[in-house]
Structure 1
Amino acid sequence: MADRPVAIAEKRLMDVKLGELGSWLGARDFTPNGIITAVRRGHDRYFNKYVNVRRGGIGGVAMLLAGYVTLSYIWEYDHIKHDRWRKYH
Structure 2
Amino acid sequence: MADKPVPLQNKRLLDVKVGQLPSWLATRDFTPVGIVRGCRGGYDRFIAKYIDVKKCGIGGIAMMLTGYVIVSYIWNYSHLKHDRWRKYH
TM-score interval w.r.t. the shorter chain? 0.7 to 0.9
AA at the equivalent of 2:60: G
Question: What percent identity do the matched residue pairs reach?
Answer: 58
Q: 1:40 is matched with which residue?
A: 40
Q: TM-score when scaled to structure 1?
A: 0.79
Gap regions ≥5 residues in structure 2: none
- Offset of 1:44 from its aligned partner? 0.9
- Offset of 1:23 from its aligned partner? 0.7
Gap regions ≥5 residues in structure 1: none
AA at the equivalent of 1:14: L
Q: CA 1:68/1:22 → structure 2, altered by over 3 Å: closer, same or farther?
A: same
Higher alpha-carbon deviation: 30-39 or 70-79: 70-79
Q: TM-score when scaled to structure 2?
A: 0.79
Higher alpha-carbon deviation: 21-30 or 67-76: 67-76
**How far, CA to CA, are the matches of 1:80 and 1:62 in structure 2?**
24
**How far, CA to CA, are the matches of 2:3 and 2:52 in structure 1?**
30
* Alignment of structure 1 residues 4-83 onto 2, 5 Å: 4-83=4-83
**How far, CA to CA, are the matches of 2:55 and 2:68 in structure 1?**
23
Higher helix share: 2
Q: CA 1:43/1:86 → structure 2, altered by over 3 Å: closer, same or farther?
A: same
Q: Across the two proteins, how many residue pairs are aligned to each other?
A: 88
Partner of 2:29, secondary structure, is coil
Structure 1: which 4+ aligned runs deviate by more than 4 Å? 84-87
